[in-house]
């Protein structure tokens, strides 16, 4: 499995406010697919500033929002006071045994110690409960979208960065994708890119150059199309796993 780069995993709190206002949410169809129909209580683990938490609350669920970064969690508490917020890592969930119908992870699974987290998921899920993972992925089609993807240090121009490391057999998991469009201004995209962990860790000069390039590219597209926003093609890539016996 790919080693976890903790130097990147723990920097998001530096941009918590920008993260909360610039990161996209997840399509309702993806959230509905991830959450069991009879679910009452779920956990949003690695919740960040609550991009998924809000959607779960809107579904009438009791939500335990678990996030290890205090700065991120402070923003989540303010924006989503209906959630029960916990400052904790994925492998030490502060909930009792067999108390959750689902554990959800949005754009964060790749930051977790996989085996320890799976053991913890088994502990907290009720029988028949599931682990649901989702990533918002870009799916560039037009030339300028491919060029924009090339500015993102994690994409390198392809847009193909689907997760591949799973600590359970692939044939036990269900997979679904939900295409959607993210309508964004050049400034919002710049802000979103500035919350990328690799970008946060760049030198000031390198970061400014990358952000300026992305904003200028989208501003040029807006001028050509006579719009204030651009439509970025994305998909919510989802994995759902229902644990069986401890040996599975």
Q: What's the domain range around 184?
A: 6-241
Q: 100 pairs with which residues across the strands?
A: 125
Residue 246 falls within a domain, yes or no?
A: no
Residue 169: predicted pLDDT: 75
The rounded distance, in Å, linking the Cα atoms of 173 and 132 is 10
Alpha helical stretches, state H, the chain: 6-9, 16-22, 28-34, 53-58, 70-79, 114-124, 143-149, 186-194, 197-200, 204-225
Q: For residue 216, tell me if it sits in a domain.
A: yes
> What is the C-alpha to C-alpha distance for residues 129 and 204, in angstroms, rounded to an integer?
45
Residues 6+ apart with CB under 8 A from 54: 25, 79, 80
Q: pLDDT at position 6, please?
A: 56
Residues 6+ positions from 14 with CB-CB distance below 8 Å: 71, 200
Which pTM does this prediction carry?
A: 0.91
189 falls within a domain: yes
Q: Which two tokens stand for residue 199?
A: 């970008």
Phi (first) and psi of residue 179, to 5 degrees: -65, 145
User: Residue 248 domain-assigned?
Assistant: no
Residue with tokens 């998909």: 235
- Residue 64 within a domain: yes
What's the CA gap between 204 and 74, in Å, rounded? 26
Report the CATH number that the domain containing residue 174 is assigned in CATH: 3.40.50.150
Dist CA 180 CA 26 (whole Å) = 9
DSSP 8-state secondary structure symbol assigned to residue 51: T
CA distance to 29, 68, 116, 149, 238, per residue, from 33 (Å): 6, 26, 25, 28, 8
Domain total in the chain: 1
Whether residue 118 is contained in a domain is answered as yes
> For residue 71, is it within any domain?
yes
pLDDT at position 5, please? 57
Digitized pLDDT (tens) for each residue of the chain, 248 residues in all: 445 555 576 789 999 999 999 999 999 999 999 998 899 999 999 999 999 999 999 999 999 999 999 999 999 999 999 999 999 999 999 999 999 999 999 999 989 999 999 999 999 999 999 999 999 999 999 999 999 999 998 775 444 444 556 777 777 889 999 999 999 999 999 999 999 999 999 999 999 999 999 999 999 999 999 999 999 999 999 999 998 745 44
Give domain status of residue 188, yes or no: yes
């Amino acid at each position: 499995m790919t080693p976890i780069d903790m130097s990147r995993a723990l920097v998001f709190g530096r941009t918590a406010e920008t993260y909360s206002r610039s990161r996209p949410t997840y399509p309702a169809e993806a959230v509905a697919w991830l959450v069991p129909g009879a679910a009452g209580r779920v956990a949003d683990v690695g919740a960040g500033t609550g991009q998924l938490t809000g959607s779960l609350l809107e579904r009438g669920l009791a939500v335990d929002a678990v996030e290890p970064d205090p700065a991120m969690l402070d923003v989540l508490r303010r924006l989503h006071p209906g959630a029960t917020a916990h400052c904790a890592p994925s492998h030490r969930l502060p909930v009792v045994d067999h108390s959750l119908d689902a554990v959800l992870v949005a754009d964060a699974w790749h930051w977790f110690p996989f085996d320890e987290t799976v053991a913890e998921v088994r502990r907290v899920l009720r029988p028949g409960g599931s682990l649901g993972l989702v990533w918002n992925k870009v799916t560039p089609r037009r030339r300028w979208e491919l060029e924009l993807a090339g500015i993102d240090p994690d994409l390198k121009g392809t847009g193909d960065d689907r997760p591949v490391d799973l600590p359970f057999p692939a044939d036990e998991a269900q997979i679904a994708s939900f295409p959607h469009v993210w309508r964004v201004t050049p400034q919002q995209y710049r802000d979103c890119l500035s919350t990328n962990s690799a970008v946060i860790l760049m030198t000031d000069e390198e970061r400014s150059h990358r952000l300026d390039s992305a904003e200028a590219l989208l501003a040029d597209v807006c001028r050509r199309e006579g719009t204030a926003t651009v439509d970025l093609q994305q998909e919510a890539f989802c994995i759902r796993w229902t644990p069986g016996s401890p040996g599975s």
